[in-house]
Amino acid sequence: MNEGGVLEILNLTNPIFKGYIFYSALLVLKVLAMAVLTATQRFKRKAFANPEDAEPRKLKPKIDENVERVRRAHLNDLENIPIFFVAGFGYMLTNPAVGTALMLFRVFTIARFVHTLVYAVVVVPQPSRALAWATGYFITGFMAVKTLMHFL
What is the per-residue pLDDT across 4-38, written as a single tens digit (0 to 9) for each?
Answer: 678 888 899 999 999 999 999 999 999 999 999 99
Which DSSP helix (H) or strand (E) runs through 116?
Answer: helix 98-116
Quote the mean pLDDT of the chain: 94
Name the more confident of 52 and 55: 52
For 58, left (φ over 0), alpha (ψ -120 to 50), or beta?
A: left
* Mean pLDDT, residues 89-109: 97
Asked whether the beta carbons of 104 and 141 are under 8 A apart, the reply is: no
Rounded to 5 degrees, φ, ψ at 58 are 55, 40
Average pLDDT of the segment spanning 105-112: 98
Enumerate long-range contacts of 97-102, CB under 8 Å, 24 or more apart: 98/15, 98/16, 101/16, 101/19, 101/20, 102/15, 102/16, 102/19
CATH numbers and ranges of domains, the chain: 3-150 (1.20.120.550)
56-69 pLDDT, tens digit each? 888 888 899 999 99
